[in-house]
């Protein structure tokens, strides 16, 4: 069980890093490399950016749950 949670934690960490880097920042971020910069300048917040927000939040929740579960497993075993 702990090994599975550790694997999920590593995958969630890598994905969350990628998703955070894809967000549009003040300077455009890495999302402008994939064509998101021009469209988001014209229409404010795009559907892609909103979906990226949702996926990032979901990944962060999975990451936090894995950390809490691993700590509980360590504390009670």
Is the per-residue pLDDT at 26 higher than 90? no
19 neighbors 56 (Cβ within 8 angstroms)? yes
Q: How far apart are the C-alpha atoms of 73 and 36, rounded to whole Å?
A: 42
Whether residue 31 has pLDDT greater than 90: no
pLDDT at 3: 96
Q: Which helix (H) or strand (E) holds 11?
A: helix 2-22
Q: Decide: pTM greater than 0.85.
A: no
Q: What is the pLDDT of residue 38?
A: 53
Question: From CA 6, how far away is CA 58, in angstroms rounded?
Answer: 17
> Phi-psi bin for 54: left (phi > 0), alpha (psi -120 to 50), beta?
alpha
């Amino acid at each position: 069980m702990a090994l599975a949670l550790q694997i999920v934690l590593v995958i969630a960490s890598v994905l969350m890093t990628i998703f955070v880097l894809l967000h549009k920042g003040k300077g455009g971020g890495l999302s402008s490399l994939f064509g998101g910069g021009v469209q988001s300048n014209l229409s404010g917040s795009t559907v892609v950016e909103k979906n990226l927000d949702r996926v990032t939040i979901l990944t962060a929740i999975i990451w936090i749950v894995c950390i809490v579960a691993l700590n509980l497993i360590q504390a009670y075993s």
